[in-house]
Structure 1
Amino acid sequence: MKIASLPVPAPLIEYCEEKGITDLYPPQAACVDEGIFSGKSLLVAIPTASGKTLVAELAMHAQVANGGKCLYIVPLRALAGEKFREFSGKGVKVGISTGDLDRRDEFLGANDIIIATSEKVDSLLRNKTPWLRQVTLLVVDEVHLIASPDRGPTLEMVITKLRYRIPNLQVIALSATIGNPKKLADWLGAGLVTSEWRPVDLRQGVFYRGKIHFHQGEREVAEPSKTEDLNLCIDTIEEGGQCLVFVNSRRNAEGFAKRAAAAFKKRVKSPVLEEYAARILESATTDQEKVLAACIATGSAFHHAGLRREFRELIEEGFLKGEIRCISSTPTLAAGLNLPARRVIIRDLLRFSGAEGMAPIPVGEYHQMAGRAGRPHLDPYGEAVMIAKNEQSIEELFERYIDAPAEPVVSQCTRSGALCSHLLSLIATGFATDRKGLSKFLVQTFYGFTHASTKALDTIVNQSLKFLTETEMITEIGDLLQATEYGALVSRLYIDPLSAEAISGAMLEADGYSDRALLQVVCSTSDMPALYLKSKDLQYLEKFLYEHGDDLWQQVPWEDREQFYRSVKTAMLLSDYTDEVPEAIICERYDVGPGDLYAAVTNVTWLIHAAARLAAMFREDLAPAVRELEICTSQGIRRELLPLVRLKGIGRVRARRLFNNGITDPATLQEAGFDRITSILGSGVAKSLFSQFDEKETKERKDDLQGSSELVKKAQTSLFGFGGCDE
């Protein structure tokens, strides 16, 4: 089927033809035959690299051409950025929304395609963003994540809400790994397109003692190294391919990258790699980042959430360009990012899982990783390889992973914590005004669709409504359910009602205020991922509690000391950040990466913002201090720098440099003059700062003139007798 023959606007067709894409793949053609251009909903469950995204783009461009608006939901912020870049420049307006979780982002309504995470869409629904009602096509990427304990309930609720509110909404759900696609398609009221076709042949096998065992036969691999994972990697590099190695921890990812770097020294040479390494060294602040630069110079890299976002993006860019030859990563890299490789090595098949300890990875996760094997138009085939520990386990791995279907998608809505938050939002936004309305809505969720009996769900609903009533977030008078001002605010702020109650309760009982007290309370909530404890931490925590324990609003509970210590440790990290301790020292002190620090700061800033809004409602006397802490945390500064960071272009480093030179606020900066500021910050920054003052003065003059004009008008009115003056 020719792309040029499809009912989509010319810019998309021209873009495809420029990229050499003139014909649809068989699964894509099947989607056309199933009715994507006639408004029919579809579940597209086809292998990675089989063209799912183009199916969505074709449908979106057709909708836009007919006056529609499209919403594209992704599971990760990084994936949202990737899709934004991919969809832009093809004749439609594309917007992206992943930021603050209590903003309506009304400006996004001017776009034809809006990309957002499921959490952000849920927040937009809670804040009653008007343009959502104009959406005619919903695309859900990685729809199998409905089965995720963390993200699943939100994704399921968002899909249900949008379908509930928007009549005739077309839904296109995309996934590579679903064990029960027919059931999910039926829930969505969608047609089903499944296929095993791939543009590059995928060979799945098990490596043991120098041989990869495939269903089709065996292949020998040279063994220049003592370790099997590295031998597999070297074999791929020497035949001109690239390699992804999936391991179960960050430490293992870094360890493999270092071993690969040593092996690649004589095998890979590239001035581009040296340039990449230099770019990382320019802003590297930790030993981890310096190691990363050294690895990249040889063509090896590691990738995980502990790295800075800009470093992860550079690694992805280098791999896509074929310069970086091998990436060792935790499984997060397989969750949607478009990084195919000649060979994928799934080295670690066990992963630490809380209560279970080390447990086998799910089959669906294996298929997600294996699906990255094979670069379209570059590789004649792709290989996904596991490593057997003994001869007996070769057949076991084939049966458990290669020949097994992915697990069925199962609703996670019965998780009480998640449901409580979603029930509050349903009541606060008017989706349901009584228990009957709640039941009517919940029956339309995937859980309601797949369970003949909803007794388990009813029990959790009753428990949640009891909690929401007792905490005064909702009222139930007769049959009527309504959110109170407090409950409506909690829903808009997009925080767990349990978190809101912990924060507001602590502030109401507080005799005084301290930043440490608020940070510890916020870090004890379910919305704030707390740092893990290590044995060496206890002496520092005990010392901290001895010196500052009286400042805290919460005291050590006997029943869950570990969780309390974790919250204190996380609060200490954030306190160090606001005390302007250098990032490298924080990362070393708490054994975290710069990416972890950034994530912690982002999360806690949102929660402190929520605390400030709650303080304005319950403890107005604390609100100014909490609002100041929000800025201090987001910027990583002490309070003395607050006047300076309000200037555009001034962050924690420049503000401290100015302060240490006696410039403490905008007034003293102006008094210092252009030449002095140039000597401290450079001419470019100085020009930007003084232009802000010029703009402010111009605005103030305009305001003064406008004010004078109003006074003249009033005087004229009075003189001519229209202002109530006596004759």
Structure 2
Amino acid sequence: MQIKDLDLPEDIIRFYTDSGIEELYPPQAEAIEKGLIEGNNLLAAIPTASGKTLLAELAMLKSIADGGKALYIVPLRALASEKFDRFRTFSSINIKSGGVRVGISTGDFESRDEWLGSNDIIVATSEKTDSLLRNETTWMEEITTIVVDEVHLLDSANRGPTLEVTLTKLMKLNPDCQIIALSATVGNAYEIADWLKAKLVLSEWRPTSLHEGVYLNGNINFHGSQKLIEARTKDEAVNVLLDTLEDGGQCLVFESSRKNSVSFAKRAGRMVSETLDKPTRNALDELVEQIIENGETEASNELAKCVRDGTAFHHAGLNSAHRKIVEDGFRSNKIKVISSTPTLAAGLNLPARRVIIRSYRRYDPNYGMQPIPVLDYKQMAGRAGRPHLDPYGESVLIAKSYNEMTGLFDNYIDSDAEDIWSKLGSENALRTHILSTVVNGFATTRDGLLEFIEATFFAHQNDTWGIMDVVDECLDFLRYNRMLEGDESLLPTALGRLVSTLYIDPLSGAYMVDGLKKAKPQNITDLTLLHLICKAPDMRQLYMRSGDYEVINDIVLAHSDEFAEIPPRSKEIDYEFFLAEVKTALLIQDWIGEKTLDYITKKFNVGEGDVHAIADIAEWLMHSMSRLSGLIAPEMSSENADISSHTALLEKRIHYGASPELIELVSIRGIGRVRARKLYDNDIKTVDAIKSSGLERVSELIGPKTARKLFKEIGLHFDIKSEEPGKVNSQTMGSLMEKEQSTFSDFEK
């Protein structure tokens, strides 16, 4: 089927033909035949790189041409950015005045983001979409096409319930809206399609053939064939990847842990570096400089060393800048090998000639090392083969014995992905969604809640009578904590409305309110408030390690008056959870106390990315507690009633990772906490002090380039004649340029 033959505006057809896409792949042609551009709902369960995104694009563009608006839902912020960059290329398509406009929204869960309504395509995470519904964003009712990427995440215990309830609400809010659901791995695709009232495109077709095999004793064993791998090192996976590079390909290696991914990248780098030519080495040196500029921990140096050798590691502990450098370096074929935890398989467009799954077991805190699901294997294997670049793709599992090899063929290569099951049936999953469903008027009675739940995927798979016991438990909890009122008719209270719009778990809200009331006014410190937000189930708490117990317990004893409540040590499980909360609070305390990231990552055995992720959640929760404290102020003692000013300051400090005295300086765009501290310690403590100090003095402290940007930011500019605001003489400029070349950038996000 040809693109030019589709019933689409000429400008859309020209956009694709000009970019070299003239003919549809077989699954895409099937989707067209099943009414994709005629407004039919569709579930496309087709392999990675088989053209799922194009299906979404055609449906969205047709909808926009007809005067509609599209919402593209993704599971990850990184994937949202990737899709946003792609869809921005539609600005040249003149199906409406000014071209197709694209917006993105992934954060600030209390914002309506009404400004996004002027766009034709809005890209958002499922959590952000849920928050937009909770905040009753008006343009949500204008959506005519909804795309759900990675719909198999309905099966995720963490993200699944939010995605499921969000889809259910959207279908109720916009019953005539077209739903396009996409996934590479769905075991029970017919069941999900039936729930969505969607046509199903189910295919194994790939533009680049995939060969799945198992490595054992020097050979990759495929069905019906073998491939001999030269033994150059003792590490079998290194031998397999060297074979890939020799043939001109790139390699993704999936490891079971962060530690293993780093170790493998280092080990492989010793051999990979010998295969690099001079142009590649020069290109890698540029990436190394970027990594050093964007990091301040020992892990940054480790990554830089690996990249210099043509390898890299990739996991959630890296900061976002490093992850992007690695991903872009791999896409441009500068980095030859990425050793990653399975997070890289979750949606990002990063294919390779060969995928090596070095470990098919993953650590479970309850059961130890366990085999991964088939669905996860299929996600990883699906990354093999770059369309239009590789003649084929290969995924390779590593076995130690013949029996293990046959087991891997039976349990992974020749198996179908598991069925997707709703995870909505627990109190933890339902509690927050029941509150938001009542607050937004999707249900105003218990019977109304039952009717709403009957529209979910959970009800599509199960009888609803069992879940109503859980619903009643949630309702009792919400009433007890004064978030809902009424028995048959359900009415949200002011507290319930605020908790819902803040996008926090009602249990988090209950903990915060209760803790604020119990805290002794004279003993409230930063640690008091940091511990309260770290108690929230929304917080990503740190694990307790064997060496932590004595240290954390001593801190608790020394600061016992500062905690709103301490569980008795006789309740061992409760007390261990409490210690983990305190440990997490201490990390945030170090962050706002301006400890270096290198110090924090080593002390708490975490990555830069973990620190930033915890700080992001902490900022959101501290903002929530600030809002909650303002609401309940009339119920608190007069000494506690002004706690909102303390929480508001902590929110800012968490955002910038700074002490109170630096807030004015770090609030200036481009001045991080390191530069702010340099200025402050040199008696430049305010914006006025920056202005009066002059460009040359400020340049001595933070570098000429940054200083000029700083003065521009605060409304002053300089020319080449004088140092006065608006003027800099040529001699001074030359001096500043010389300093700039020798000044090391200590920029810190």
- Scaled by the length of structure 1, the TM-score of the pair is 0.93
RMSD after superposition: 1.6
**Aligned partner letter, 1:177:** T
> What is the aligned counterpart of 2:288 among 258, 271, 277?
277
Partner Cα distance (1:648, 1:301) in 2: 31
1:688–1:315 Cα change, 3 Å:
closer
Partner Cα distance (1:118, 1:23) in 2: 32
- Correspondence 1:612 to 2:612: no
- Correspondence 1:171 to 2:192: no
Partner Cα distance (1:462, 1:430) in 2: 18
**Aligned partner letter, 2:474:** S
Partner Cα distance (1:354, 1:694) in 2: 54
Partner Cα distance (2:36, 2:303) in 1: 45
Partner Cα distance (2:405, 2:707) in 1: 66
Which residue number corresponds to residue 44 of structure 2? 44
Which residue number corresponds to residue 625 of structure 1? 646
For the Cα contact (< 8 Å) 1:265–1:298, is it kept in 2? yes
**Aligned partner letter, 1:494:** Y
Partner Cα distance (2:293, 2:708) in 1: 25
**Could you tell me how far 1:670 is from its partner in structure 2?**
4.0
For the Cα contact (< 8 Å) 1:521–1:554, is it kept in 2? no
For the Cα contact (< 8 Å) 1:508–1:618, is it kept in 2? no
**Aligned partner letter, 1:176:** A
Which residue number corresponds to residue 94 of structure 2? none
Task: Give the total of aligned pairs.
Answer: 693
**Could you tell me how far 1:71 is from its partner in structure 2?**
0.3
> What is the aligned counterpart of 1:471 among 481, 492, 506?
481
Which is further off, 184-193 or 563-572? 563-572
For the Cα contact (< 8 Å) 2:294–2:321, is it kept in 1? no
Which residue number corresponds to residue 595 of structure 2? 581
> What is the aligned counterpart of 1:507 among 509, 516, 535?
516
Partner Cα distance (1:18, 1:667) in 2: 54
Partner Cα distance (1:650, 1:318) in 2: 28
> What is the aligned counterpart of 1:224 among 232, 246, 257?
232
- Which residues of 2 match residues 458-497 of structure 1 at below 5 A? 458-477=468-487, 479-497=488-506
Which residue number corresponds to residue 83 of structure 2? 83
**Could you tell me how far 1:211 is from its partner in structure 2?**
1.1
SS of aligned partner of 1:219: strand
**Could you tell me how far 1:176 is from its partner in structure 2?**
0.7
Partner Cα distance (1:368, 1:376) in 2: 16
Partner Cα distance (2:697, 2:244) in 1: 58
For the Cα contact (< 8 Å) 2:518–2:565, is it kept in 1? no
Which residue number corresponds to residue 8 of structure 2? 8
Render the CA deviation track for 1:618-670: whole Å, top value 9, x for unaligned: 23410001000000011011111123233344331222122111122334444
Render the CA deviation track for 1:167-191: whole Å, top value 9, x for unaligned: 2110000001111111100000000
Partner Cα distance (1:12, 1:249) in 2: 44
Partner Cα distance (1:374, 1:521) in 2: 48
Which residue number corresponds to residue 554 of structure 2? 543
1:673–1:388 Cα change, 3 Å:
closer
Which residue number corresponds to residue 712 of structure 1? none
- Correspondence 1:239 to 2:247: yes
- Which residues of 2 match residues 330-349 of structure 1 at below 5 A? 330-349=341-360
For the Cα contact (< 8 Å) 2:211–2:222, is it kept in 1? yes
SS of aligned partner of 1:355: coil
> What is the aligned counterpart of 1:196 among 200, 204, 210?
204
**Could you tell me how far 1:8 is from its partner in structure 2?**
3.2
Partner Cα distance (1:422, 1:85) in 2: 32
SS of aligned partner of 1:90: helix
Partner Cα distance (2:700, 2:242) in 1: 52
Which residue number corresponds to residue 390 of structure 2? 379
**Could you tell me how far 1:248 is from its partner in structure 2?**
0.8
Partner Cα distance (1:497, 1:74) in 2: 25
Which residue number corresponds to residue 74 of structure 2? 74
Which residue number corresponds to residue 457 of structure 1? 467
**Could you tell me how far 1:539 is from its partner in structure 2?**
3.4
For the Cα contact (< 8 Å) 1:200–1:374, is it kept in 2? yes
Which residue number corresponds to residue 708 of structure 1? none
- Correspondence 1:323 to 2:334: yes
> What is the aligned counterpart of 1:207 among 209, 215, 218?
215
**Aligned partner letter, 1:457:** I
Which residue number corresponds to residue 715 of structure 1? none
SS of aligned partner of 1:454: coil
**Aligned partner letter, 1:2:** Q
For the Cα contact (< 8 Å) 1:16–1:22, is it kept in 2? yes
**Aligned partner letter, 2:354:** R
SS of aligned partner of 2:366: helix
Which residue number corresponds to residue 665 of structure 1? 686
For the Cα contact (< 8 Å) 1:9–1:61, is it kept in 2? no
- Correspondence 1:647 to 2:701: no
Partner Cα distance (2:696, 2:299) in 1: 39
**Aligned partner letter, 2:464:** T
Which residue number corresponds to residue 111 of structure 1? 119
Which residue number corresponds to residue 452 of structure 2? 441
Render the CA deviation track for 1:535-577: whole Å, top value 9, x for unaligned: 2223331332233232222314432222111111111111001
Partner Cα distance (2:2, 2:534) in 1: 55
Which is further off, 613-622 or 47-56? 613-622
Structure 1, unaligned runs of 5 or more: 696-727
Which residue number corresponds to residue 699 of structure 1? none
Partner Cα distance (1:660, 1:325) in 2: 45
Structure 2, unaligned runs of 5 or more: 92-99, 634-640, 717-749
Partner Cα distance (2:679, 2:453) in 1: 57
**Could you tell me how far 1:602 is from its partner in structure 2?**
0.5
- Correspondence 1:561 to 2:571: no
Which residue number corresponds to residue 716 of structure 1? none
Partner Cα distance (2:467, 2:400) in 1: 43
**Aligned partner letter, 1:41:** N
Which residue number corresponds to residue 407 of structure 1? 418
Partner Cα distance (1:615, 1:139) in 2: 38
Which is further off, 123-132 or 617-626? 617-626
Which residue number corresponds to residue 159 of structure 2? 151
For the Cα contact (< 8 Å) 1:71–1:139, is it kept in 2? yes
1:293–1:692 Cα change, 3 Å:
closer
Partner Cα distance (1:293, 1:644) in 2: 31
- Correspondence 1:591 to 2:601: no
1:144–1:471 Cα change, 3 Å:
same
For the Cα contact (< 8 Å) 1:140–1:173, is it kept in 2? yes
1:9–1:584 Cα change, 3 Å:
farther
SS of aligned partner of 1:189: coil
**Aligned partner letter, 1:307:** L
- Which residues of 2 match residues 127-146 of structure 1 at below 5 A? 127-146=135-154
Which is further off, 7-16 or 146-155? 7-16
For the Cα contact (< 8 Å) 1:11–1:90, is it kept in 2? no
**Aligned partner letter, 2:58:** L
SS of aligned partner of 1:104: coil
For the Cα contact (< 8 Å) 2:354–2:393, is it kept in 1? yes
For the Cα contact (< 8 Å) 1:669–1:677, is it kept in 2? yes
**Aligned partner letter, 2:664:** P
For the Cα contact (< 8 Å) 1:350–1:361, is it kept in 2? yes
Which is further off, 20-29 or 281-290? 281-290
SS of aligned partner of 1:461: helix
Partner Cα distance (1:168, 1:468) in 2: 33
Render the CA deviation track for 1:122-166: whole Å, top value 9, x for unaligned: 000000000000000000000010010010000000000000111
1:646–1:275 Cα change, 3 Å:
closer
- Which residues of 2 match residues 330-369 of structure 1 at below 5 A? 330-369=341-380
**Aligned partner letter, 2:181:** A
**Could you tell me how far 1:687 is from its partner in structure 2?**
5.0
**Could you tell me how far 1:226 is from its partner in structure 2?**
0.7
SS of aligned partner of 1:455: coil
Which residue number corresponds to residue 636 of structure 2? none
For the Cα contact (< 8 Å) 1:557–1:564, is it kept in 2? no
Identity, % of aligned positions: 46
1:373–1:682 Cα change, 3 Å:
closer
- Scaled by the length of structure 2, the TM-score of the pair is 0.90
